[in-house]
Chain A
Amino acid sequence: GNSVTQMEGPVTLSEEAFLTINCTYTATGYPSLFWYVQYPGEGLQLLLKATKADDKGSNKGFEATYRKETTSFHLEKGSVQVSDSAVYFCALSFSGGSGNTGKLIFGQGTTLQVKP
Chain B
Amino acid sequence: DAGVTQSPTHLIKTRGQQVTLRCSPKSGHDTVSWYQQALGQGPQFIFQYYEEEERQRGNFPDRFSGHQFPNYSSELNVNALLLGDSALYLCASSLRGYHEQYFGPGTRLTVT
Contacts and interface: CB of A to CB of B under 8 A. Distances in A.
Interface string B26-60: 00000101010000111111001010000110100
Interface in A74-116: 89, 91, 93, 95-97, 101-109
B94 interface: yes
B55 A101 contact: yes
B7 interface: no
Interface footprint category on B? 20 to 34
Interface footprint category on A? 20 to 34
B96 A96 contact: yes
Contacts, number: 70
Given A43-B90, A101-B56, A103-B58, A93 B99 contact: yes
Which one of A34, A95, A97, A106 has the highest number of Cβ atoms from chain B below 10 Å of its Cβ? A106
B52 to A, nearest CB: 15
Interface of A: 4, 32, 34, 36, 42-46, 49, 51, 89, 91, 93, 95-97, 101-109
28 contacts: A4-B42, A34-B99, A42-B105, A43-B103, A44-B43, A44-B103, A46-B101, A46-B102, A89-B42, A93-B101, A95-B99, A96-B96, A96-B98, A97-B97, A101-B50, A101-B55, A102-B97, A103-B58, A104-B35, A104-B43, A104-B92, A104-B101, A106-B42, A106-B44, A107-B42, A108-B41, A109-B41, A109-B42
